[in-house]
A and B are shown apart, each in its own frame.
Chain A
Amino acid sequence: MNLNKKILTFAFQSRKFQLQVNKNIIDGKIKLPVHLAFGHEFVSALVRSFFLMSKDSLFLTHRNIHYTSIFSKNSRKIYQNFLLNKIQSFNTLGSMNYFDEKTSIKYTSSILGNNLSVAAGFAEGNKSSKSIVYCVVGDGAIEEGSFYETLLLSKSLGLRIVFILENNNFSMATTIKQRRFDMNIKKLSQSIGIKYYYFKRKDIISNVKKYRKIITNTREADDPVVLEFQILTLGSYKDGDNKINYHHGPMKLGINNAYVYNNDSDILYLMNKKLSQ
């Protein structure tokens, strides 16, 4: 399968899975917290497409369904166990701390920034192989001290970690501008001697090329790297005059909707337009 088609397939697979979970939430069949990730599928499909399942490892956050849906073969079965009629008898850690013994997803955490240093320890244990540890964070988690601490630790110990920063501009209902100074992650990373790359949301084709090159180089290096992805999480709601893009609850969608929106604001629509050519 050609690369573009592969990425598209993973993205649609993730979307389809989320739509089913979304429906189960609307129908009241799932009550435990699930952080849907409509609009995040490009980055997870990209990571999946260059990921070596036998070697690499993935460290996720509470919003992880766009990864678990395409990395974990048991995701359907595990989510089935989240259904109300099964949950009582199922020993689960839930969606935010997704757990599957037989997958490359080694750890997921519901605590902001908690997965960073755990990923660093895991990467230290993998030093002798050419494997990569991928650690996903959001723009909220990088406000935690553990982000800086782990970048420093990874650089000092020469750990092969790809930090995937999914920047959707929201932490709960608050934009970056509403809560803090818009710090320069590039300069922060570079001040610790770590390479940084930015992935603009609409540059689908060049992002794929850029990502491939970075991962090829990282596999040969003993160094961490920071990749920041611009994300538009779908599922906005109104809070007074404010439009909140952070999405937690379900959307009014049927399970056959491929797209949330039939325009470029939906990453899947955009990906299909660019990668199908």
Chain B
Amino acid sequence: MSEKYLPLTVTIGVFCILFVAGGLLYPNFFSTLVIGNILGDNAFVIIAAIGTTFVIISGGIDLSVGSMIGFVGVVMANLDAAGWHPLVSAPMMILFGAGFGALVGVIIDFCEIQPFIITLAALFLLRGACFMINLDAVPIRHPFVLEFSDMGISLPGGGWLSSSAIVMLVALAVAIVIAHWTEFGSAVYAVGGDAPSAKLMGVPMRKTTIKIYALGGTYSALGGVVYAFYTSSGYPLAGTGNELQAIAAVVLGGTLLTGGVGFVAGTLFGGMILGLIATLINFNGSLNGAWIMIAGGLLLFIFIVMHRFLVGSFKFRTGS
């Protein structure tokens, strides 16, 4: 097996181990119900994390994800109050996400600024905008939102694949095609693997960078739309910290933070591992909720250390 599949294999292995462990510990755990719930409850983070995967594979980082989720929700709630149909405001917000991301990409490329700092600025900007619009939660009352949450597919074994989960899986499928069957996808891996070489090999650097962050913005805005539907409201603090959860999901999914190596599909499992840990601790009942973060943190730490050793096998071995 090629070493590039190793991180992904480990991720899927960890997911299986956690799931089987849960099944052995608790009755009713080993079911499509639990899987369906994990997919539905974490859909918005996983969607955002899919966009982040592209950014991280290209060697960048996007910290504006959580604020984007909050901002999209708040604007949608206000548009709802103004009488807009969610099916009109949602595509508009997704377009906004794409445009905002593209702008971030332009600034990163044109001014040669570290993605970390410019997306940090975007984080503050969007979160501030949330509070400019509303200080409190605003409900989304349009009947479509209710219909949306009632939609879904029942799984064999009593499980329920909610509409959020379906949107997420479709978004994932699109992302996999983009990553592996388009010239742009190859360019993302090339830029992350070795930017100077990619340039010499004729990869259009500016176009690629702009597209990467536009894609990241699109996916985090879509995550925001799903979250707004999921909670039927817009709340200015919504999504706080989700950018870090998205990064965690990407890294747990086997994408190397050094860029160039990773799989979009891994992010699904990374996000599900985080959800699985939370579910396990909830099933236990007696454990403090703090253990969710501690367990997630420990796992992340182990993965990063593992990656550190894997990176060595990808290093260029030139002498001079």
Q: Do A and B come from one complex?
A: no
